[in-house]
Structure 1
Amino acid sequence: MLTAIEYLELATTQPIEIIDVTALIRERIKPLGIDNGLLTVMSAHTTACVNINECEPHLQRDMLTFLKRFVPRDGDYAHNVVATDGRDNAHSHLMALLMTASVSIPIVNGELLIGGWQSVFFIELDGPRPQRRLTLHLMGAA
């Protein structure tokens, strides 16, 4: 069994941003030579998540609208009163409750086993941020 860990460094420019990282992941894992296995993609942040969904601009706009309506920025949140880093970002932490910090994707014949409409997204909930990181942990056989 082979294992490998790679990192994707990202910068975000919006308060809430959905970034399709599928191509970046494919580029990063292809040279590792694992034909069949399992890839775990993990966000190392409490206010940024990983999700698999459809990459369609209208749907992405709907996702942003949904998140903003469901967890408004201007809510009465106790965390904003005692935020340790000075960011009133309770809404970002609460949005993250609706998502996951990681996803696992099978690798078959060297390719991500995802559906034709599926993409892997990094979802920023507390941007903009100059540096964010995704961890790619790949296990499998060559």
Structure 2
Amino acid sequence: MAGTFTTRTINIATGAAETMHDLTNACSAFLREAAHRRSGLLNVFTPHATSGLAIIETGADSDDDLLAALRGVLPADDHWGDRHSGPGHGSGHVLPALVPPHATLPVVEGELVLGASQSVVLVNTDRDSPERQVQLSFLG
């Protein structure tokens, strides 16, 4: 049987603050429709120069800790070379080097495989972009 490829774009309202948005339920809902109990791979991708995807525990302050760590490593100040949207914007363009814009995850019998307490999370530190897109693709 030949493999199938199914993809969908979802829109995420991130607002005007740095944020982490849990995508785990959206990924599982997509797989219920696309995987049909098949095994394969889920690729999650955000086509933005200032966003990334993380696999992290949420709800136990790990998400706040990640944002705090990113503020420490990538301060939104005026020392960045990229200033096309004003001071501090350049730090967001370095974010995908530390938090990549993609993740590929195993799917077994139609279910997303994550470890205990792991979630798929969109990380957005760009306060100038209140909406983001995420591309979900299943190959199975």
Q: TM-score, normalised by structure 2?
A: 0.89
What is the CA distance between 1:124 and its match in structure 2? 0.7
Match of 2:50 in 1: 47
Change (3 A) 1:69 1:75: farther
RMSD (Å) for aligned C-alpha atoms: 1.5
Q: SS of the residue aligned with 2:82?
A: helix
Cα displacement (A) at 1:34: 4.8
The residue aligned with 2:109 is 109
Hey, which bits of structure 1, 4+ residues long, moved more than 4 A?
none
CA separation of 1:14/1:131 partners in 2, compared to 1, >3 Å: closer, same or farther?
closer
Once structures 1 and 2 are overlaid, which stretch shifts more, 122-131 or 93-102? 122-131
Residue 118 of structure 1 deviates from its aligned partner by 0.6
Structure 1 residues 1-142: aligned runs within 5 Å? 1-32=3-34, 33-80=36-83, 83=84, 86-88=85-87, 89-127=89-127, 129-140=129-140
Question: How far apart, in 2, do the equivalents of 1:87 and 1:132 lie?
Answer: 20
Post-superposition CA distance 1:111-138 (Å, at most 9, x none): 0011121100001120253321100111
Corresponding residue SS for 1:51: strand
Query: Gapped runs of 5+ residues in structure 1?
Result: none
In structure 2, stretches of 5+ residues that fail to align are none
